[in-house]
A and B are shown apart, each in its own frame.
Chain A
Amino acid sequence: MIPLQDATGFQATRWPELVAALALALLIVVWIVRTRRSSDVFVRRIPGLEAVEEAVGRATEMGRPVLFIPGMDSMDETGTLAAVNILGQVAARTARYETRLLVPCRDPIVTNVAQEVVRAAYTAEGRPDLYRADDVRYETYGQFAYAIAVQGIMLRERPATNFFFGRYYAESLIMAETGNLTGAIQIAGTDSDSQLPFFICACDYTLIGEELYAGSVYLSREPRLLGTLKAQDMAKAIVIVALLLGSLATATHLWTRP
């Protein structure tokens, strides 16, 4: 329970964050308008996302399912939102290729959202009959109990393709190594910097940090969303310039911290 504040009014120490948020929002709006006029927007190749189509196709050819893990956190975490957005794109492809999609979830709220996303994707592809509610289910909230549940699914169902998107903790390597042992092609994407080395070791492709958030945009290629990607890149360029100028100013003693 957050205690009530005694003071009222604007928290002046947070003005840089407000300016940054408003500036980013403005950049997003400007770039959406620009990409609506001209949808010819260059986006660099991200091997992990390029491989999604190939990975789903591999599962189809082998007659084995696709496994999608949407992370360990709840829907209030942005990483999970990004993972669920990618799930929609993956589900559209599995519906198109008539491949079974397994989505074991740790969080009950994520389970319900994932069920809606997958059902909608299958319906949009004209294959609502292929949607199996039992394949998108809640397992358990316990961290390692969930990892073992996923291990069991991998060893029993033998998915040909494993997707790990979202936020992960210590259990990530347990799942990724088991998937590696079963011979599945594995694509991971996480914003957990501590788990990235494990995924890079155990998976065939790994999306690092912000590439996870670009996932659904990259796969859908919708002009409106591409604009937000360009805005993000422009914001990063501004941050890099600010860092360089700040480092230079500090190194040459032009500016010292108060």
Chain B
Amino acid sequence: MKTTLPILFGFLVGLVMFVQYFFSHPSLQRTYNLVLDWKQIVFGMMLILGTIGLVRHHGVRIQRRERAWGYSAVTLSGLVAVILAGVGGGVQGGPYAWSFENVQSPMQSTIFALLAFYVASAAYRAFRARTVHATLLLCAGIIVMLGRVSIGEMLGFSVGDARYSLAGLSGWILDVPNLAAKRGILIGVGLGVSATALKILLGIERSYLGKGD
């Protein structure tokens, strides 16, 4: 019963969601909207549980003075400060909005900006001409990178009215072989998604229930 009931519930709800995609009856649409609302409610409840777990984890680290417990103190302080700011001053304007615009948002942008350096580090390691495939990758990478900047258009030649440049070659690499490979991957992913969804719907795959196969 502990396994059968969730599988049956999943099958019934999944079946309703599957049917509503093909039939536009108002009752089915209302059910779809209701399920979306329930999802938000479940998310909210799970968020509370997750936050409680987070507070407990960091609280224990502070209490036991574990290694790097200072970061846990910063985490809990930030959590309490933002909650108080939101409850006291409201979420529209006031200290809550100030903390988002002047603290959280710049920090997010900073980490996003750091990504450029991580890309450079990964590219330095990956673009080494050790094999034929790696050499092809390196050459294609150079062409595409140069083709994306102004010099890509300048590096080229004209034959009559036609202009052949690195920018054009870069565009061809992205539009033809790269796009073909991407579409192949997407077709495989689409089939994988469909098969996995059907497995879940039909109760064939049960690992997500935590009960094993």
Interface residues of A (CB under 8 A from B): 1-5, 7-11, 14, 17-18, 20-21, 24-25, 28, 32, 74-76, 78-79, 81-82, 84-85, 88-89, 105, 108-109, 111-113, 116-121, 124, 133-134, 137-145, 147-148, 152, 156, 170-171, 173-174, 176-177, 180, 191, 193, 196, 198, 200-202, 208-210, 212-214, 216, 220, 222, 224-225, 228, 231-232, 235-236, 239
Contacts and interface: CB of A to CB of B under 8 A. Distances in A.
Looking at chain B's contact residues, is the secondary structure mostly helix, strand, loop, or mixed?
helix
A156 B66 CA distance: 11
Contacts of A138: 49-51, 53-54
B204 A32 contact: yes
A174 B49 contact: no
Contact of A2 (B33, B49, B71): B33
B108 interface: yes
25 contacts: A3-B29, A4-B26, A8-B26, A10-B22, A18-B22, A75-B208, A113-B208, A116-B209, A117-B207, A120-B210, A121-B210, A138-B49, A138-B50, A141-B47, A142-B104, A173-B122, A191-B189, A193-B182, A209-B192, A212-B192, A213-B192, A224-B204, A228-B195, A232-B195, A236-B191
A120 to B, nearest CB: 4
A64 to B, nearest CB: 15
Contacts of B33: 1-2
Given A138-B54, A173-B115, A239-B187, A220 B213 contact: yes
B108 A209 contact: no
A42 to B, nearest CB: 18
- Residue of B36, B56, B71, B196 with most partner-chain A CB within 10 A: B196
A170 B112 CA distance: 8
Nearest to B123: A201
Interface residues of B, number: 68
Nearest to A86: B207
Contacts of A145: 107-108
A108 B40 CA distance: 12
A176 B114 CA distance: 14
A76 B122 contact: no
Contact of B118 (A118, A133, A174): A174
Contact of B111 (A24, A144, A214, A224): A144
Interface of B: 18, 21-26, 29-30, 32-33, 36, 39, 42-43, 46-47, 49-51, 53-54, 56-57, 60, 67-68, 71, 104, 107-108, 111-112, 114-115, 118-119, 121-123, 125-126, 182, 185-189, 191-200, 202, 204-205, 207-213
B210 A81 contact: no
Contacts of B119: 173, 198
A140 B57 CA distance: 13
B6 to A, nearest CB: 11
B89 to A, nearest CB: 21
B199 A28 contact: yes
Contacts of A152: 68, 71
Given A28-B195, A173-B119, A210-B191, A108 B185 contact: no
Given A11-B24, A112-B46, A85 B111 contact: no
